[in-house]
Amino acid sequence: MYSREIVDEALLLHSLGRTDREVATSLGVSVQAVRHWRTRGQHAHSTQPRLAERLAYCPICAKGELVGSAYSYLLGLYLGDGCITRHRRGVHYLSVFCTDEYPSLVRQCEEAMQAVFPCCSPFRVQRTGCIEVKSASKHWPCIFPQHGAGKKHSRPIVLADWQEEVLHKHPHELARGLFHSDGCRVNNRVRKKVRGDWKYYDYPRYFFSNTSSDIHEILGRALDLIGVEWTLRWQKRPEENFRDAGILSVAKRDSVALLDTFIGPKI
CATH number at residue 229: 3.10.28.10
Of the candidates 133, 156, 127, 143, the one whose C-alpha atom is nearest the C-alpha of residue 12 is 133
Dihedral, CA atoms, 107, 163, 228, 216, nearest 10 degrees?
90
CATH number at residue 40: 1.10.10
The answer to whether position 63 is within a domain reads: no
Q: How many Å apart are CA 51 and CA 37, to the nearest integer?
A: 11
Q: 122-177: per-residue pLDDT in tens?
A: 899 999 989 999 998 888 999 999 998 888 888 999 999 999 999 999 999 999 99
**What's the whole-number mean pLDDT along residues 5-21?**
70
- CA of residue 118 relative to chain centroid, distance: 16
Q: Evaluate if residue 46 carries a pLDDT over 50.
A: no
Q: Is the dihedral of CA 73, 102, 228, 230 positive or negative?
A: negative
The answer to whether position 187 is within a domain reads: yes
The answer to whether position 234 is within a domain reads: yes
CA-based Rg of the chain, rounded to a whole angstrom?
22
User: Residue 202's CB: how many other CB atoms inside 10 A?
Assistant: 8
Quote the Cα angle for 82-84-85, to 5°. 135
Which residues have CB under 8 Å from 22's CB, separation 6+? Answer: 13
Tally of structural domains, the chain: 2
Q: How many Å apart are CA 95 and CA 77, to the nearest integer?
A: 10
**pLDDT, position 118:** 77
Q: Evaluate if residue 39 carries a pLDDT over 60.
A: yes
Task: Provide the domain limits for residue 19.
Answer: 1-48
Q: 181-207: per-residue pLDDT in tens?
A: 999 999 888 788 788 888 888 889 999
DSSP label at residue 119: T
Q: How many Å apart are CA 236 and CA 220, to the nearest integer?
A: 21
**What's the whole-number mean pLDDT along residues 12-17?**
62
Contact 119, 57 (CB under 8 A): yes
Contact 9, 27 (CB under 8 A): yes
Q: How many Å apart are CA 245 and CA 211, to the nearest integer?
A: 5
Q: 55-68: per-residue pLDDT in tens?
A: 556 777 766 567 78
Three-state secondary-structure class, residue 237: coil
Give the global pTM: 0.76
- CA of residue 182 relative to chain centroid, distance: 10
Q: How many Å apart are CA 176 and CA 76, to the nearest integer?
A: 7
The answer to whether position 141 is within a domain reads: no
The answer to whether position 108 is within a domain reads: no
User: Residue 68's CB: how many other CB atoms inside 10 A?
Assistant: 16
Phi-psi region of 191 (alpha: psi -120 to 50; beta: other; left: phi over 0): beta
**pLDDT, position 22:** 82
Q: Is the dihedral of CA 167, 142, 118, 215 positive or negative?
A: negative
The answer to whether position 11 is within a domain reads: yes
Q: 162: exposed, middle or buried (C-beta count within 10 Å: 0-12, 13-18, 19+)?
A: exposed
The answer to whether position 152 is within a domain reads: no
The answer to whether position 76 is within a domain reads: no
